[in-house]
Structure 1
Amino acid sequence: MEERVILVDENDNQLGVMPKMEAHEKAVLHRAFSVFIFNDKGQLMLQQRAACKYHSPLLWTNTCCSHQREGESNIEAGRRRLQEEMGFTTELKEVFSFIYKAPFDNGLTEHELDHVLIGSFNGNPNLNADEVEDYKWMTLQEVKADMDKNPSIYTAWFKIIFDKSFDKLTHA
């Protein structure tokens, strides 16, 4: 069964559902989430997207991200996807949301109302090879410096979150 996304207006009111690929082909605004996991040293767990992903393969990004399912809260969706991609769960809290639009070279466009969730974890993930190529821990300052130097190795949404909301992540 094809995954469906929740279509929303700018105020996050649900308007309907649509197959995920169709929403990305038509650049329709839909609900999404991005999870940021920090350890006790204040480092962020980054993931490198799997080579087989249909967009942004092998790029570095936040710990995990995806789309909520109908009837699923932002926190429930974040915990589900964290388990599916990274092989662990932890408590999450929502810190902010924002809207972005990012076209990709393959003709698809992400147009999302993205809910940013944070949590903490100190162990090693159990990576799902269908989703994740690799992971690493970096401080936010290290990420920002590397992103300035090597912007092409990071996902569009991750760069947008850093550009618009770096202060919200550092004070979360």
Structure 2
Amino acid sequence: MCMRHVLLCDSDGNILEISDRKSAHEGDGKLHRAFSILIFRDNWKQLLIQKRADSKLFGGLWANTCCSHFQEEDNLATQAEKRLEEECGFTCDLTECSSFVYQAKDPKGKGAEYEYDTIFVGEVDGDIEFKLDPEEVEEAKWINIDELMKDIDEHNENYSPWLLLALKHILETDQ
């Protein structure tokens, strides 16, 4: 998925126009459509998280399994599944859960995110093989949800700002 643009939107996620990625992430950022994928195993007790490549916005921080920007208004789950395969080397069935808006500046001054973020979740059985795209992901690991929440509480500077928001949205709903 060659991502050269983002879809600017209003606070309800309605598409307004197309923008280049760079200008959408400058200053305080421009509100645009994005997605976050969270892959669980062991009956939702473990989450696959990734450490973002240092060259990325919020590089070097731990984040959800995969995230990116929608390139079109339709086929959202298909776009998310394709990106999961490109970035992590595997795919699974994804379910759209909810959406939220957040805004955050990169701690290293590389830009800002201002996203209408749609959450997709999936579940896998046991160990899976994944092949990480080194331009996107430095490393990945499975982590127990309780352990993750405790570590985020104690060391939130090690995590992307959208990870906790996404977790709260899906863990507060009945799965």
TM-score, normalization by structure 2: 0.88
Counterpart-to-counterpart distance in 1, 2:96 and 2:18: 23
1:75 partner letter: A
Counterpart-to-counterpart distance in 2, 1:30 and 1:20: 10
Written as runs of structure 1 = structure 2, the 5 A alignment for 1:39-118 is 39-42=41-44, 43-53=46-56, 55-105=57-107, 106=109, 108-118=111-121
CA shift at 1:73, angstroms? Answer: 2.4
Counterpart-to-counterpart distance in 2, 1:159 and 1:147: 8
Counterpart-to-counterpart distance in 1, 2:30 and 2:139: 30
1:86 partner letter: C
Name the structure 2 match of 1:165: 169
Consecutive unaligned residues of structure 1, counting only runs of 5 or more, are none
Consecutive unaligned residues of structure 2, counting only runs of 5 or more, are none
SS in 2 for 1:44: strand
Counterpart-to-counterpart distance in 2, 1:78 and 1:38: 16
SS in 2 for 1:136: strand
Name the structure 2 match of 1:120: 123
Name the structure 1 match of 2:137: 132
1:108 partner letter: G
> How has the CA–CA distance of structure 1 residues 67 and 109 changed in structure 2, closer, same or farther, with 3 Å as cutoff?
same
- In the alignment of these two chains, the number of paired residues is 169
SS in 2 for 1:25: coil
1:21 and 2:13 correspond: no
Identity %: 36
- Residue 145 (structure 1) aligned to one of 143, 147, 150: 150
Would the aligned equivalents of 2:36 and 2:166 in 1 still touch at CA under 8 Å?
no
Counterpart-to-counterpart distance in 1, 2:96 and 2:145: 18
Counterpart-to-counterpart distance in 2, 1:146 and 1:58: 16
More helix by share: 1
| 1:109-139 C-alpha deviation (Å, 9 max, x unpaired) | 2111100000012412111111111111112
* Structural RMSD (CA): 1.8
Would the aligned equivalents of 1:67 and 1:77 in 2 still touch at CA under 8 Å?
no
Counterpart-to-counterpart distance in 2, 1:155 and 1:2: 21
